[in-house]
Amino acid sequence: MAFRNPFAPRRPAVTTPDKSLLVENRKLIETIDRRKVLRGTFSLGALSLLAGCDISDRGAVQSVLKTVSDFNDGVQAALFNPKKLAPTFSPDLVVKPPRFNAYYEIDEVKPVDVSTWKLELSGLIKDKRPWTLDQIYALPEQEEIIRHICVEGWDYIGQWSGPNLKDFLTRIGADLSAKYIAFYGNDDYMESIDMASALHPQTILATKYAGEPITDPYGFPLRLRTAVKLGFKNPKWIRAIEVTNTYPLGFWEKQGFNWFAGL
């Protein structure tokens, strides 16, 4: 079920299959997938387009599409204007609570135990000492009322606040010329963004929603909120941040979604 409607399962789960089923059958699922893509190609006469490819190679179509998706990452990076600000909105448009979404249901969220939680830092960072929540709360806050846009097509206005990410990265001595920054969730979720987007003025480590600490389903104690990426690029329940030059991919990219996913 989680695969059928991965972002925001709206129906209450009646019987949720064990997630290990999906992992075990991933190969099979991917095979069906390629077969379907290939059939689509047939029915569309897209073969003429892919002349030269061995059509019996099921991966050929996927490989063309992935290559174009990677190319589109570069195009989006070129289109990205680091100074261009996303529209902001008035507080009366803020949706409360924010809309839940994860690759699992809201009742499967495992709340973070804040007594043991610390923000771990790794990679190209000078001061890798972990941060407690109180230390993060003590940092200057930035508030932004921005539109959250999901790759599925829905959106809502949210009011987020927390330390500006660029200020935080500067404070911990992160290499701001590195290419990527990866965020690891308390679950097995991981997403990465490009450094230019990380340094955008509307990218923050959000600790609050509508002036109150973010509640468990929405990422307590810490989540990324950037106005310049699709929703799935904003991990919740962050437990670690890594600065790196090695392309770290991400949870949804491994399933075929576009990595840059910039707005």
Residues binding another protein (CB under 8 A):
3, 5-7, 32-33, 36-37, 40, 44-46, 48-49, 64-66, 68-69, 72, 76, 79-81, 84-87, 147, 149-155, 227-228, 252, 255-258, 262-263
Compute the least distance from the CB of residue 26 to another protein, in Å. Answer: 12
Which residue, 65 or 138, is less far from another protein as judged by CB?
Answer: 65
Which residue, 220 or 259, is less far from another protein as judged by CB?
Answer: 259
Instruction: Tally Cβ neighbours within 10 Å of residue 183.
Output: 26
Compute the least distance from the CB of residue 229 to another protein, in Å. Answer: 9
Which residue, 121 or 228, is less far from another protein as judged by CB?
Answer: 228
Which residues 6+ apart lie within 8 Å of 187 measured at CB? 102, 104, 110, 237
Compute the least distance from the CB of residue 27 to another protein, in Å. Answer: 15
Rounded distance between C-alpha atoms, residue 151 and residue 49, angstroms = 27
Which residue, 83 or 126, is less far from another protein as judged by CB?
Answer: 83
Which residue, 52 or 140, is less far from another protein as judged by CB?
Answer: 52
Compute the least distance from the CB of residue 158 to another protein, in Å. Answer: 14
From the list 234, 121, 236, 246, the residue with the least C-alpha distance to 174 is 121
CA distances from 249 to 45, 81, 188, 189, 190 (A): 32, 22, 14, 11, 8
Rounded distance between C-alpha atoms, residue 131 and residue 180, angstroms = 21
Element spanning 188, H or E:
none
From the list 141, 137, 139, 140, the residue with the least C-alpha distance to 117 is 137
Tell how many helices (H) and how many strands (E) occur in the chain: 6, 10
Which residue, 183 or 232, is less far from another protein as judged by CB?
Answer: 232
Compute the least distance from the CB of residue 191 to another protein, in Å. Answer: 15
Compute the least distance from the CB of residue 203 to another protein, in Å. Answer: 12
Rounded distance between C-alpha atoms, residue 243 and residue 26, angstroms = 30
